Amino acid sequence: MLSHHCQNNQCVLCGALLSSGGQSAHPVCEIRGLLSRRRYAAGENVFREGDTCRQLMVFRSGQLKLTTRSLAGREQILGVLVAGQLVGFETSDAVYPYTATALTPVEVCCITHNDMRCILEENPSVALNIIRRFSDELIRARIMIRNLGIKPAHARVSSLILSLVPTGADYNEPFPLVFSRLEVAELLGLSEETVSRIFAEFRRNGLIDAHRGEVLLLDMGAVRKIAGMRPGQKNNSGSVKAATACMMG
């Protein structure tokens, strides 16, 4: 469903792309005037595999599941996007290599590629900020791919939990984990039994509280340590979309 242009003073798109300082108000207002806001119910597709990609989207709230179909027709989960992350990096008129489905109620800010291109051509400083943001996303994507390849099971589960925390969120608040244990296992390349055992162990040791589709971090430091994260390293594993593109070649 399409709603009115975003007039939020803390617009997640403007905040994400124009956060490096020194940016004049005029380009920011210009970008906001070109934004639209969309809301999707849980279970609704934001876009489908094969749809033409014509816009950049930033998620304001909720969780989004990225999936594709195997040769046998079975759904394969590729990853999750959370509030503050971007999707729509494809060049103009490319097609999405996956389907995006709302796991929870989702709200996104959108700007078409054509409108963003005009902004970039007229405002080099905005273009530089966007390049920096996309570079950060690609670096996080590579880290995620590395983690899935070399991290032990406990570290993979810890990394997934941390990646589901929305950008800038209060860690004292619970956040959704609507995947089944089997879906988590498929996403992380583990067995369902291993995932269930690790979640039970984390609860037993007082690291998390997980029930009714939500997770509450009780010991952030311990979970970060198990995940192998360095001091000051950001929790979000970054753009799953970018990682998907790399994995699909």
- Could you tell me which residue, 117 or 1, shows the higher pLDDT? 117
Three-state DSSP at 39 gives: strand
For the segment 39-60, what is each residue's pLDDT rounded down to a tens digit? 999 999 999 999 988 888 888 8
> 117 and 75 in contact (C-beta within 8 Å)?
no
Residue 61 banded pLDDT, cuts 50, 70, 90: confident
Same domain (yes/no): 72, 134? yes
Three-state DSSP at 202 gives: helix
- Could you tell me which residue, 176 or 22, shows the higher pLDDT? 176
Three-state DSSP at 207 gives: coil
Same domain (yes/no): 96, 134? yes
Same domain (yes/no): 175, 60? no
Q: In CATH, what number is assigned to the domain containing residue 74?
A: 2.60.120.10
In a domain, 233, yes or no: no
- Could you tell me which residue, 220 or 246, shows the higher pLDDT? 220
Report the distance separating Cα 14 and Cα 93, nearest Å: 23
- Could you tell me which residue, 115 or 133, shows the higher pLDDT? 115
Cβ count near 37 (within 10 Å): 19
Same domain (yes/no): 103, 159? no
Report the distance separating Cα 154 and Cα 239, nearest Å: 22
Same domain (yes/no): 124, 158? no
The number of distinct structural domains making up the chain is 2
Instruction: Tell me the average pLDDT across 120-143.
Output: 74
According to the model, what pLDDT value does residue 114 have? 86
Cβ count near 68 (within 10 Å): 16
Same domain (yes/no): 68, 17? yes
Range of the domain at 94: 12-143
In a domain, 237, yes or no: no
* Count of alpha carbons within 13 angstroms of residue 196, beta-carbon side: 6
Q: Which residue has tokens 């007039």?
A: 7
- List the Cα angle 92/102/33 in 5-degree steps: 50
Is residue 163 predicted with pLDDT exceeding 50? yes
- Could you tell me which residue, 182 or 19, shows the higher pLDDT? 182
Q: Is the dihedral of CA 90, 96, 98, 103 positive or negative?
A: positive
pTM: 0.72
Is residue 62 predicted with pLDDT exceeding 70? yes
In a domain, 238, yes or no: no
Whole-Å CA distances, 247 to 16, 50, 141, 187, 201: 25, 17, 10, 13, 31
Same domain (yes/no): 137, 168? no
In a domain, 69, yes or no: yes
Amino acid present at 227:
A
Percent of the chain with pLDDT over 90: 25
